Structure 1
Amino acid sequence: MNYGRLNAGLIEELQALLKIPVKYDEESLDRYSRDETAELRAVKPEVVTFPVSTQEVSEIMKFANRHLIPVTPRGAGTGLSGGAVPSCRGIVMSFEKMNRILEFDEANMMITVEPGVITGEIQKLADRHNLVYGGDPCSSESSSIGGNVAENAGGNKVMKYGPTGYHVYGLEVVLPSGEVTFFGGKRLKDVSGLDFVHLMVGSEGTLGIVTKITLRLLPKPKYSVALLVPYPDIDTAIAAVPGLMSGSGVVPTSLEFMDGSSIRATCSFLNIEFPYADAGAHLIIEVEGNSKDSIFDDYVKLGEAAIEAGGLEAFVADNRNTRDKLWKARKSIAEALAAISPVHSMEDVSVPMANIPKLIKRSEEIAKKRGLEMIAFGHA
């Protein structure tokens, strides 16, 4: 398709539609041409806009449709798969100014927000009301909920709560024509038409631009326990993963793996100590529940299954302070690696659980052949 180009006159026309000045200086265009995906820079946009309302988003899309200008919606730019990177020039539409929590409906356990709200703010608000938002990407303190929806982000608790889309019940969407429409709502069950909500989730703004999001919240479990299980090597740790649930009969809330290099990097970066820091790999296994007895049974079963599969020991983190330290270490790995080696490539890949050992083994073979160091960590 032959897209239109923006000239000074069109930029002036676009600016007249918006409250916040557009940006088209080189520094801004460079910044908004990339996300956290290593070495991925498609093209620079011609202009960056900062809408503050659904109406402004609609006006931008009508303008773009009229002049055949491509539009790339952008959340916080923390993604690792290029979702916020423009493939054509045109307009980058940043949602950082649409960052309001619009409604907290405790009675229906629903929250409605704008796409620029940081995911961690939703989690904190839910927590204060003894509720939980199940979406928990490692970037929750910096990623926006709009980006999570666009990518159908997973996260640390995907084992129990599923990816972002499991929690999305309603969307306000601006279509490419500029028309504003609504899908879903606060109903837990709705079979009155096609499931457009989950067609939009994960579509990266290609079908429409999300401007309001209604999320379901859940009752907060009373108790949470994390296990840290060191393994002699990453092969043993990864091979243990598929059998942990079948062997214990327990579905954990979280199941994360980290190889020895990633653990040592984050320990150095945070200046902390870690049990068995010289081990070849670690698993973090977390369980939640409303009964101390049931959660005790669950983590004992998981710990026994983990050790039977080659774990050296099972350390129990049964208080919030210790759990927070474990998760801080896990969530800081990417930042730690960037500090150690500014030149690196990080790939966010997904395979069936049983194929993770094959993925790690083949990646190690490629790294060795190329004379590179491979570091592995992620959601198991």
Structure 2
Amino acid sequence: MSNYNSVTPEFIDELKTLLGEKYVKTDADTLDRYKTDEEADERCFHLPDVVVIPANAEEIAGVVKLCNKYLIPLTVRGGGTGIVDGAIADKGGVVLLMERLNKIIELNKEGLYMVAQAGVRTLDIQAAAKAENLLYAGDPSSSDSCQIGGNLATNAGGIKAVRYGVTRNQVYAVQIVTPYGDIVDLGSPLKKCSTGYCMEQLVIGSEGTLGIITQVTLKLQPLPPYKIDMLAIFHDQMAAIGVVPQLVKAGIDPTSIEYMDNPNVRTTSEYLEFPGAPHIEDGIYVIITIETFNEDELDMKMEQASDICEAAGAVDVLEADERIWSMRRNCLESVSLISKVCTTDDVVVPVDEMSDMIQYIIKTVAKYPFPLRINAHIGDGNLHIVLCKLDLSDEEWESELSRFTEEVYTYAYAHGGRLSGEHGIGSKKAHFLERFTPGGELELMRKIKKAWDPNNILNPGKVFNL
């Protein structure tokens, strides 16, 4: 079903009875504030009809039941850091904020897990673990503002995925409010389990279409006491990418291997007012993080990594300070210096296809009227393609971007890749998912969505259309 009803005064009154008048917003300023997430293209903005701010899972369940009763669509919003329009209310209706579910409930040092509400900032999760000499390994670039529930909803990746995996690898259990308004606990803090379907893993990455995540049980690990961040600088792009398999096969087990092309180096250094960035005019950056539990092991791996990079063609190998990481984290934000509107894509391919994929993109973009920037988690095959609109008309931008994207996705799928490694699909890429996903797989997704959410209440239009 996708024929929704309009929001009525009766519906608003029931929301106020459930949540309290203070937490039901219909004023113009609030609605305008939540018409977008990180999307900059005004053509993609949509005003919700009402914004609600529930305090707990029980109140969220009540909101979902009301939306089913009145046939009103509901869009869940975490930190609003998404870039595929996942938190935009394409169909109007309700936008539900998670910000009041912001408590860490338990940190179990013996069991190595943490229980937290879904609205806790990822940075606060990391800090709470670190205070107990433990590590929460999920580390998306927006950790200072994104929420842990949103990380699960999109299966966020980040800079530590090479060693520790993505968000789904950090999760034991979730509590969700189902599309019917039931509160259900899925999973358990177990090292192994072969007891029926793995339901928590189905919810992770479903972008709020199968349930609203209200609570999470996260895996923690001992925090390695020794760490080095290295910056290997190359002049040759393929040499920079080619160093990855050598580092991995050498048994160095790096935590991160990150890549910035030279346009990103120059733009981020200007954006952050860091004119002293090394080799700013021609350097291609590869940032390597190594962590160990033994100081001698760290020294050995650092020397080994340095030797590998130099042999691969690095013109300089330095210790990277926090400024270098700040440059890496601000690649997307920095393009605001040259274009108000830009788009970033996060195509993922097998690691051994990364070099050819980047070469293909560089060759292909030469036919198009927009500049290209590439930054990448090259250790796990996930690359970010940033394109700037500049002074193109809306029609030119949309047409050229669509043609370019079609070429890139076609190449990626022909080489074992997929549309997204960590950003998700949202509504921005839904038509591409339908275009490139094999029919049988797409039909299974649709059947699951219809079975779980027959009224299509939760995040309609996200991932794919019914």
The TM-score range, normalised by the shorter chain, is over 0.9
Other-structure match for 1:314: 317
CA deviation string 1:36-94 (max 9, x = no partner): 24537263322111111111101001101112211111111101233222332221111
Q: Which runs of 4+ in 1 moved over 3 A?
A: none
Other-structure match for 1:160: 163
Distance change (3 Å), C-alpha of 1:83 and 1:352: farther
Q: Report how many aligned residue pairs link the two structures.
A: 374
Cα deviation, residue 28, structure 1: 2.8
Match status 1:338 vs 2:336: yes
Distance change (3 Å), C-alpha of 1:209 and 1:155: same
| Mapping of residues 32-43 of structure 1, within 5 Å | 32-39=34-41, 41=44, 43=46
Distance change (3 Å), C-alpha of 1:339 and 1:115: farther
Residue identity in the other structure for 1:23 = K
Other-structure match for 2:128: 125
Residue identity in the other structure for 1:234 = Q
Residue identity in the other structure for 2:265 = I
Which of the numbers 151, 154, 168 marks the counterpart of 2:154? 151
| Mapping of residues 355-370 of structure 1, within 5 Å | 355-370=353-368
Residue identity in the other structure for 2:178 = L
Which of the numbers 84, 87, 109 marks the counterpart of 2:87? 84
Could you state the TM-score of these two structures normalised by the residue count of structure 2?
0.76
Q: Structure 2: how far apart are the matches of 1:31 and 1:359?
A: 38
Question: In 2, are the aligned partners of 1:37 and 1:346 still within 8 Å (CA)?
Answer: no
Q: Which sits farther off after the overlay, 105-114 or 33-42? A: 33-42
Q: Which sits farther off after the overlay, 201-210 or 26-35? A: 26-35
CA deviation string 1:106-146 (max 9, x = no partner): 22121111111110011111111100100000111111101
Could you state the TM-score of these two structures normalised by the residue count of structure 1?
0.93
Residue identity in the other structure for 2:247 = L
Other-structure match for 1:29: 31
Q: Structure 2: how far apart are the matches of 1:329 and 1:306?
A: 21
Q: Secondary structure at the match of 1:363?
A: helix
Other-structure match for 1:261: 263
Other-structure match for 1:134: 137
**RMSD, aligned α-carbons:** 1.8
CA deviation string 1:339-365 (max 9, x = no partner): 443232222332222222233233323
Question: In 2, are the aligned partners of 1:233 and 1:279 still within 8 Å (CA)?
Answer: no
Cα deviation, residue 31, structure 1: 3.0
Other-structure match for 2:377: 379
Q: Structure 1: how far apart are the matches of 2:77 and 2:238?
A: 38
Q: Structure 1: how far apart are the matches of 2:229 and 2:207?
A: 33
Which of the numbers 341, 349, 352 marks the counterpart of 2:350? 352
Cα deviation, residue 186, structure 1: 2.4
CA deviation string 1:217-272 (max 9, x = no partner): 100001001110111033332233344312x2322100100011111222122222
Larger RCO (alpha carbons 8 Å, 6+ apart): 2
Cα deviation, residue 302, structure 1: 2.0
Give the unaligned 5+ runs of structure 2.
379-466
Q: Structure 2: how far apart are the matches of 1:31 and 1:347?
A: 25
Distance change (3 Å), C-alpha of 1:228 and 1:285: same
Q: Which sits farther off after the overlay, 328-337 or 278-287? A: 328-337
Q: Structure 2: how far apart are the matches of 1:139 and 1:169?
A: 22
Q: Structure 2: how far apart are the matches of 1:309 and 1:3?
A: 59
Give the unaligned 5+ runs of structure 1.
none
Other-structure match for 1:184: 187
Question: In 1, are the aligned partners of 2:40 and 2:340 still within 8 Å (CA)?
Answer: no
Which of the numbers 325, 328, 335 marks the counterpart of 1:327? 325
Other-structure match for 2:174: 171
Q: Structure 2: how far apart are the matches of 1:111 and 1:85?
A: 30
Other-structure match for 2:6: 5
Q: Structure 2: how far apart are the matches of 1:297 and 1:38?
A: 46
